[in-house]
Amino acid sequence: MTRTDIARRVYNHTWKLDPIIRSLLDTDFYKLLMLQMIWGLYPRVEAEFALINRTTSVRLADEIDEAELRAQLDHARTLRFTKKEMIWLAGNSFAGRTQIFEPDFLAWLAEFRLPEYELEKRDGQFELRFSGPWMETSMWEIPALAIINELRSRAALKVLGPFELDVLYARAKARMWAKVEQLRPLPDLRISDFGTRRRHSFLWHRWCVEALKEGIGEAFTGTSNVLLAMDNDLEAVGTNAHELPMVLAALATTDKALRAAPYQVLQDWNQYYQGNLLIVLPDAFGTDAFLRDAPDWVADWTGFRPDSAPPVEGGEKILAWWRARGRDPRGKLLIFSDALDVETIVETYRHFEGQVRMAFGWGTNLTNDFSGCAPRPIDGLDPISLVCKVVSANGRPAVKLSDNPRKATGNADEIARYLQVFGDDGRVSHEVRV
Amino acid sequence: MTRTDIARRVYNHTWKLDPIIRSLLDTDFYKLLMLQMIWGLYPRVEAEFALINRTTSVRLADEIDEAELRAQLDHARTLRFTKKEMIWLAGNSFAGRTQIFEPDFLAWLAEFRLPEYELEKRDGQFELRFSGPWMETSMWEIPALAIINELRSRAALKVLGPFELDVLYARAKARMWAKVEQLRPLPDLRISDFGTRRRHSFLWHRWCVEALKEGIGEAFTGTSNVLLAMDNDLEAVGTNAHELPMVLAALATTDKALRAAPYQVLQDWNQYYQGNLLIVLPDAFGTDAFLRDAPDWVADWTGFRPDSAPPVEGGEKILAWWRARGRDPRGKLLIFSDALDVETIVETYRHFEGQVRMAFGWGTNLTNDFSGCAPRPIDGLDPISLVCKVVSANGRPAVKLSDNPRKATGNADEIARYLQVFGDDGRVSHEVRV
């Protein structure tokens, strides 16, 4: 028996492309949920998405080779949903319900491919934009981010030899398992993987998901990554994102319509989804403004996902609001998903234990925590704050205010206008971690 | 490209034997040095070796399947030195000299095979004995210990699934690399691998040796394992062991001859070896007795290997003796090899820095440190104090007193007689770690 599989070795050293995106299902589940709604209600809206690197000190275009980036983006555009994937989407149950996707939507999806992209370099950064129908461009968000983050990891690792790589991944695994052991003692923990966009790599992401499945069992309630959910028989989890209120707000032609946009989103959503999928994401234009102006029926939704304030503070605000509206928080659900690590998960869990149902969507710190793992100091392994945001809808600029002014996006004039409409209450600057 | 190498997978799941000993060179270098001397000076001496498990709480015969043990021992008996190995032994330089092995000895070695063994179970332990010519039985020590230790590891790991094994080895690698990083700052450290006999497994041993080569570079001065030395272009290191004074003492027919035996060993050795190989192992019958009665020429030897007292205490005793004999310790060498871990290495290094040349022979804690690495508690991964000792020579019982009475071997009557001849000065009981 020889030690080396010659065919594999030759293949590994001569392939033209090691694909980062292997399937169109390698995306967040909320993209598919939102896509069905966009396809159903806003099929003619044009939306432009753009890459935004908030960690400006990292010059992505210096770290990543443009030709490699184009090759990966081009490869992603060759993908289609496979028959197996389509059958799974049609036949699987999501959030406890079967046939969540309409047959007509699935028929459209079967023909889907990622639209074109525009890429140029400017000042050491990539200007990467996706223009076209919202129901096409929206699907670029996750693969674009995953591609850039993995290309950055690969570039950083090129200086390491095989033994150093072995040590690096051994240490990362040991650290990941230490986290598992910290989470195990929490009896009613519900945690899911939200780490696709900022992951170190696809293979590492898969390992982390397997580690949670192996290590915390029932407490691991699923993954936002649809491909990993399918392959590992896990729940696909997620609901909706800021792009919905951002696009609807951009489309609003009056201040009144702008003020109503966040609630219009919820009404649209409710045409498609019920139960555990009725999760409010309140911070697009400031959580205080959202709660202040919310119609009473919003308090009947299943839960909230506070996404830009510190978890205890953000959660307490929602609890107070439910109580003020006469709802018992113990029947409600809070989903935490912003910059979580083990310490904040444990602290938040302990704080709200018994007061409200909780779920944790664990992202970057789950799938991209390599600090100190390299056997010698190397640059480029720390995650960066990279997002892919909608920047305009039907040519009108899109804005996000957030509860944290440092996470705001959009041009200054529009931000000022939004602040006049929604106010600035409760918005506090925090360092954007990742 | 399929993911699975079918031939390899089928082979891995159907092989009759996964051999632990793959080569007769998979032994400690000192066995070959001693063997040449035994072959040259004591070819007709019969010596019996026996396995001794000092960790009596571990019932080896309950943990290890007897048939598997027999299969491994039988497999080791099929091995011969290969042509490549013989050419390397003849052509390589050892301790700075070429042609350290005589052509006639090598010609005899080329025909060597391990002799028969006797194995039975008693009270949950294996009685494993090797009887015959000393120049044959001596060679069983290391493979027998490596086989039993690895079979014990394998038995312990059988309860773990593939993911748990992945975590186990990741953690062990992370820990090993943490040790490397603790050792790196010591500027003139000289450390070698002495871990063959107590290793977790051959493959893990190899990884640890590669880690030291990669991680501490020049400070890693070699390995006692001849096969790993050859395969990794490292120095093969080691000198001599207790079996030499033990056999010569057993052969002594008068108390005077018994008292002279430890120095007779050195005179015999000096017929074959010089320079850095002139290392005294003083503790077979108590270091105090050895130093008290030593002829002055012993102080001209290159160094000492104190092996059963705590390193600082044992080293200081030798330094004081050299000084009393008018020798400057700064030109001398101390080799520490008993129960070392990173902390004792660093402490000993700091203590003797500038006073004497030092080398550390790192054993069990290098190649078999898995405590706390398993993702759930399992038994059988902690190393045990297992030795394979000469128990008689030409039918006369062999004894070791050691500086630590708990490491003494031999029957009670003979130990009493040896204590009358050598005295009990300086012998202090310490827990036998491994």
- On chain B, the residues whose CB falls within 8 A of the CB of A174 are 167, 170-171, 173-175
Scanning A116-145 for CB atoms below 8 A from B yields none
B13 versus A209: which is more confidently predicted?
Answer: A209
- Closest CA of chain A from B95, distance in Å: 28
How far apart are alpha carbons A31 and A42 in whole angstroms? 15
User: What per-residue confidence (pLDDT) applies to B396?
Assistant: 97
Work out the minimum CA distance from A39 to partner chain B, whole angstroms. Answer: 37
**Count H helices, E strands: chain A?**
18, 13
Is residue A214 less than 8 Å (CB to CB) from chain B?
yes
The burial class, CB within 10 Å (0-12 / 13-18 / 19+), for A37 is buried
Chain A residues with CB-CB distance to B214 below 8 A: 161, 163-164
The pLDDT of residue B52 is 96
As a whole number, mean pLDDT of residues A172-196 equals 96
Query: Confidence class of residue A1 from pLDDT cuts 50, 70 and 90?
Result: very low
Four-residue CA torsion sign, A216, A220, A226, A230: positive
Position A395 scores a pLDDT of: 97
Q: How far apart are CA A40 and CA A57, in angstroms?
A: 41
**Nearest chain A Cα distance for residue B230, angstroms:** 19
Q: Residue B359's beta-bridge partner residues?
A: B335
Return d(Cα A345, Cα A336) in angstroms, integer: 9
pLDDT of residue B1: 47
Give the whole-angstrom CA distance, residue A431 versus residue A433: 6
Residue type present at position B138: S
Residue range A87-142, pLDDT digits in tens = 999 999 999 999 999 999 999 999 999 999 999 999 999 999 999 999 999 999 99
Cross-chain Cβ contact B171/A169 below 8 Å: no
> Which candidate, B12, B126, B157, places its Cα nearest to that of B59?
B126
Q: How close, in Å, is residue B139 to chain A by CA atoms?
A: 28
> Per-residue pLDDT tens for A288-319?
999 999 999 999 999 999 998 899 999 999 99
The verdict on A171 touching B (C-beta cutoff 8 Å) is yes
Distance from CA of B29 to the nearest CA of A (A): 26
Q: Does A297 touch chain B (CB under 8 A)?
A: no
| Pairwise CB contact (< 8 Å): B171 & A177 | yes
- Best mutation site among A212, A214, A370, A376 for testing chain B: the one with the most B CBs within 10 Å? A214
pLDDT computed for residue A2 by the predictor: 53
pLDDT in tens, A229-257: 999 999 999 999 999 999 999 999 999 99
The predicted-structure confidence for A396-418, as pLDDT tens digits, reads as follows: 999 999 999 999 999 999 999 99
Closest CA to A335 of A316, A319, A315, A317: A315
Measure the CA–CA gap between A365 and A345, rounded to whole angstroms: 11
- For chains A and B, CB pairs below 8 A equal 55
Q: Which residues of A touch B216 (CB under 8 A)?
A: none
* Statement: residue A275 has pLDDT above 80: yes
From residue B398, alpha-carbon distances to B32, B115, B242, B243, B394 in Å are: 21, 20, 11, 9, 10
Chain A residue with the nearest C-alpha to that of B171: A174
Residues B247, B390 contacting (CB under 8 angstroms): yes
Q: How far is A318 from chain B (nearest CA, A)?
A: 38
Low-confidence ranges of chain B (pLDDT < 50): 1
Beta strands A47-53; A386-393: pairing state: antiparallel
Task: For chain A, say whether B166 makes contact (Cβ under 8 Å).
Answer: yes
pLDDT value of position B2: 53
Q: Average pLDDT of chain A?
A: 95
Question: Which residue of A lies nearest to B211 if distances are taken between CA atoms?
Answer: A163
**B44–chain A Cβ distance below 8 A for any pair:** no
Tell whether the model's pLDDT for residue A335 goes beyond 90: yes
